Each structure stands twice: as C-alpha cells, then as structure tokens.
Amino acid sequence: MKKLADCIQRGVGSISHAQEEILCGLSEVKKVAETLDPRKGTIEQREEEFWGLRDSFTGKSNAWYAHMAKEMEAFSPGLFIGPEDGPRTTDDLERFFKTPKGHERRIHGHKHAGIRIVQEGPTLIPALDAHARHPAPFSPADLIPYRDADTPAGQIEAMKRRKIMRKARNKKTREKLLAELEKRYKEAG
C-alpha cells in the first residue's frame, strides 16, 4: 500500500501545475457561462459583459486565453438573439420540436418527420403546437385575428426552391427547367 500511495503522490505532484491552470480556466469558463444565463440580466447587459470578457482574454499572453477568445468569437453569432423564453440549449430545442415531429411522423407513417417542417416551419410549427397553448377547440372568434396573416418571405422562397429541386430531380422535366432558368438568367443580366 505504501508503494501505491507513493506512486499516487508522484503522479499528483507531476500534474499539480496543470491542475492549477485547469482550475483557473474553470473559473473563467463559469464567468462566460453566467453571461449566457437569462436570469443574470438583460440581453444587452449580458452581451456587453460577454464581449468584455472576450476582450480581456485577447489581451492576455497565455495560450489558453487566446484559444478561449477565439472560441467565444466563433460561437458568438446567435448567442444573444431571440426571445428570452425560447429554447436555450440543444435539449430544449429537441423538446420544442418533439411534438410537431411526432405529429408529422404519424401523418405519413415514416420514422423521420420529413422536410416539410424545415420548409414550412414558420407557419406549420405554431399550427401543430397550437393545442399546447389553447386546450379547448378553436372557435371562429379565436381564428379571426389570423385571417389576414401572410406567409413569411423565407418560407415562400424555401417552397419555390423545393419546386425547382423537384423538377431538377425529375429526368422528364429537367431539360425544360434548365431552359427556363437559363432564360431567366439572361433576362436578369
């Protein structure tokens, strides 16, 4: 046992410097994580603190801090965008899409939910998930505010691309599609 204890002591002693660096880095990572927590302030306050931390990491000569600053820069797009009550983690996102995906799978009987959720998502997801927010059947009065709603531009564009790609996959319509696209390109340019 004494030999084993000596061996453990030598092993711990040889990595003690690395452990100190890890503990220092852990406290810095916790500071960054606090900027992402919606309970810690407004989006603007947390974003300002996030960039302040990134700038302080950039100014240090340690390679770990330079790496952390680079990672923060890479992950920054989209961190402070969107509603505060929306999905914050990938697990939350999975739970958010679970019900509509299950509904779609049951509709067409496949194991996957299909591309329809991706292309028609902006209008399809609220419709498929409406029962969660409105437990009673909808009455005409409930639906009147939505009678003049427009389909989002991004969804319309996605559906147009879908039609083009379906024509491109079909050997019979591919030639006609290429001629049409070539004509459109010449008219635009």
Lowest-confidence pick of 26-30, 99-103, 125-129:
99-103
SS3 state of residue 188? helix
Can you tell me the mean pLDDT for 34-63? 88
Pick from 149, 156, 94, 95: which is nearest to 127 by CA?
A: 149
Write down the pTM of the prediction. Answer: 0.47
Structure tokens at 165: 């790609």
Per the prediction, the chain carries an average pLDDT of 83
Return d(Cα 61, Cα 69) in angstroms, integer. 12
Task: Kindly list the distances between the CA atom of residue 117 and the CA atoms of 27, 96, 124, in Å, as whole numbers in the listed order.
Answer: 40, 13, 7
Q: What is the mean pLDDT of residues 120-144?
A: 81
- The pLDDT of residue 49: 94
- Residue 56 confidence (pLDDT) above 80: yes
Which of 97-106, 119-128, 150-159, 180-189 bottoms out in mean pLDDT, i.e. has the lowest? 97-106
Nearest to 62 by CA among 92, 104, 20, 91: 20
With CA atoms as reference, report the closest residue to 46 among 3, 9, 81, 96: 81
pLDDT score of 82? 66
